[in-house]
Amino acid sequence: MGEVTRPAARPDEHAVEVHLVPLRRRHLRSVLRIESRVYPRPWTLALFLSELNLRSSRHYVAARIGGHLVGYAGLMLSLDEAHVTNIAVDPAWQRHKVGTRLLANLARVARARGAHHLTLEVRVSNVGAQAMYRKFGFETEGVRKNYYAETNEDALIMWAHHIDTPAYGSRLAALEAAVPGATIDETEGGRRP
C-alpha cells in the first residue's frame, strides 16, 4: 500500500524539518499505510473520509518530512472539550518528536476553538505515549475495560484540564521550544517560525 518511507540513515534530530499541513483526501493512502503498521484494528478509508467531511467539529493534521507523510493526528471538538481521536507516527520516524509536534498542534487548535479541556484514550501497554501525554499535562482519570476489542486491552482515559489558561499556554510553548529541528506549521493552529 505505497512505499515505505524510511530514513536512509538515522538523521540528526536537530536537522529534521517537519511540515504540519491540513490532512486532505490525497494523504489518505499514506495515512492508511501508517494505520496498518501501528494499530491492530486500523481505521478504514470510509471512516477517515467521513471525519474529514466534519470540518466544523474536526481538525486533522499531517506531518511531512522531505515530502513524505510520516504521521497524522485528529481532534474532535464539542462545546468546551476537545478529544484526540488519533495520533500516529510511521515507526521509521518515531523518536524524532513528530508525535510531540502533532499533539502540540492539536492543543493549539483546541485552545483557539475555545476548548477548556482535552481528553484521549491510550492503551494501558503504551507507556511511551503515556509519558508524552503527561508532559502535556494529561492525567489518568479512568479506565475503559476491554476498549481495544481486538486485543482485549484496557484503555486509560486521560484528561488535560484548563488548557485555556495562560499557564497551559506557557507549558505548550516550553514543550515546543524543546523540540529539536524545525517545525513549519501550515495549519490553523500553526505558529510560524
What are the extents of the domains in the chain? 17-113+168-185
Residue 8's pLDDT is what? 45
Catalytic residue among 35, 60, 72, 133: 133
Distance CA 42, CA 12 (A): 31
Residue 178's pLDDT is what? 93
Distance CA 162, CA 95 (A): 28
Which ranges of the chain have pLDDT less than 50? 1-10, 192-193
| Angle, vertex CA 183, rays to CA 180 and CA 186, nearest 5 | 170
In the annotation, is 121 catalytic? yes
Decide if domain 17-113+168-185 falls under CATH 3.40.630.30: yes
Catalytic residue among 39, 81, 121, 153: 121
The answer to whether the predicted template modeling score (pTM) of the entire model surpasses 0.85 is yes
Distance CA 138, CA 156 (A): 11
Residue 3's pLDDT is what? 43
Distance CA 105, CA 187 (A): 8
Task: Please give the grid coordinates belonging to residue 141.
Answer: 482519570
